[in-house]
Amino acid sequence: MQDVTVIGIDLGKRSFHLHGQDKSGKAVFRKKVSRQQLIEFLSNFHACTVVMEACAGAHFMARKLATFGHQIKLISPQFVRPFVKSNKNDFVDAEAICEAASRPAMRFVTPRTESQQTLSALHRVRDSLIRDRVCTTNQLHAFLLEFGISLPIGNAVVRRLPALLAEHSLPPRLVTILERLHTHYKYLAQQIAELDREIAQQLADDDLGRRLLTIPGVGPITASVLTAEMGDGKQYARSRDFAASIGLVPRQYSTGGRANLLGISKRGDKNLRRLLVQCARVFMQRIDKNSGPLVTWTRQMLARRHSNVVACALANKFARIAWAIAARKTSFNAGAAAMPA
């Protein structure tokens, strides 16, 4: 056991499969343990490198095992899959994790802190409530349209639904259903408003969040998601690495020395990418109210490229600016260069 330098763990809900190997890559042991047995085993094991896939429960386990003196590495599951040999089972997966971690060019995921995970969970709950609110609004519009009542698009009409129901003669049972949906809509809107206030309060107490809000077009939601997903930005060597990690760079399909660049790759966190593109569109809509090198660059781009292309390019700049703010502990300066190094 003293020869073990790397331990690969295939995570599960109740059972965990371990594969230990020495510095030459030779297998030393295989174990199947429970969650409690895993913690007890590694708490008494000598310090080594522990590798896991970045999946459910991985960030908590990484923080827990790091307290025992182990070096923790998380790998994206898509990078482990090519190292799975022949038939797939849990022990083979653990071996593949060790093999992937031994590659010198492998990319690793930085474990999240408790605050980052909590903030991420808050945003997922908010997104779920927004989807439910949209579904409820669509149902209200559809039921009323079945009885010849066409409402304009927007939430303002839904808020004054009781007054609209009083103006039309509808079956009593349908009115009861619509009132239930309206009550559910008000509940969802109240929950979303409370989460927005909580996010705004967390940003007010967070130094990085306040500095991210200085980026033009970036609001509390985007700044909060950036805080949760990017952290201090030290896991990225440069700003373009962060922009590439969320898919805001061209997808490359080159061969024979001939470069072929396609549309954006759309890799990484699609929610963060969507928010940054929306921020770019807001900035483009209010371009006459701003000034500086970034505004000049945007105007020049709009003069020769489609607005959708400009929005993605501007979102790329926002991502790189956000990384520079986090990594260099600074704020956005409208008079500085349009693109950080």
- CATH code: domain of residue 70: 3.30.420.40
Angle at 12 between CA 66 and CA 109, to 5 degrees: 45
User: Average pLDDT of each block of 10 consecutive residues along the chain (341 residues)?
Assistant: 87 91 88 92 91 91 92 92 88 92 89 87 93 92 87 80 80 89 93 92 86 89 89 84 89 85 85 93 88 88 92 93 90 63 42
> What residues contact residue 136 under an 8 Å CB cut-off, 6+ apart?
181, 184, 185, 188
Question: Does one domain contain both 226 and 323?
Answer: yes
pLDDT at residue 36, as a whole number: 92
pLDDT at 336: 60
Q: Per the domain annotation, does 244 fall within a domain?
A: yes
Task: Identify the pLDDT of residue 335.
Answer: 64
Note the pLDDT of residue 340: 46
The pLDDT score that the predictor gives to residue 275 is: 93
214 part of a folded domain: no
Q: Are 71 and 128 in a shared domain?
A: no
Within this chain, do residues 324 and 233 fall inside the same structural domain, yes or no?
yes
Q: Please tell me the total count of domains within the chain.
A: 3
Q: Is residue 213 domain-resident?
A: no
Residues 90 and 188 in one domain: no
Q: Are residues 96 and 120 in the same domain?
A: no
Q: Based on the domain organization, do 128 and 62 belong to the same domain?
A: no
Instruction: Specify the pLDDT at position 183.
Output: 92
Per the domain annotation, does 92 fall within a domain? yes
Phi, psi (5° rounding) for residue 222? -65, -40
Domain boundary among 152, 176, 205: 205
Location of structure tokens 């033009």: 216
Q: Are residues 92 and 124 in the same domain?
A: no
Q: Give yes or no: residues 177 and 240 share one domain.
A: no
Cα Rg, the chain, nearest whole Å: 25
Range of the domain at 27: 6-101
In the DSSP assignment, the letter for residue 152 is P
Q: Domain check: are 151 and 119 in the same one?
A: yes
Q: Is residue 280 part of a domain?
A: yes
Q: Identify whether residues 277 and 308 lie together within a single domain.
A: yes
Which of 101, 131, 157 is where one domain is finished?
101
Last residue of a domain, one of 101, 127, 152: 101
Please give the model's pTM, rounded to 2 decimal places. Answer: 0.81
230 and 323 fall within a common domain: yes
Classify residue 217: in a domain, yes or no: no
Do 256 and 323 reside in the same domain of the chain? yes
Handedness of CA 174, 180, 182, 188 (dihedral sign): negative
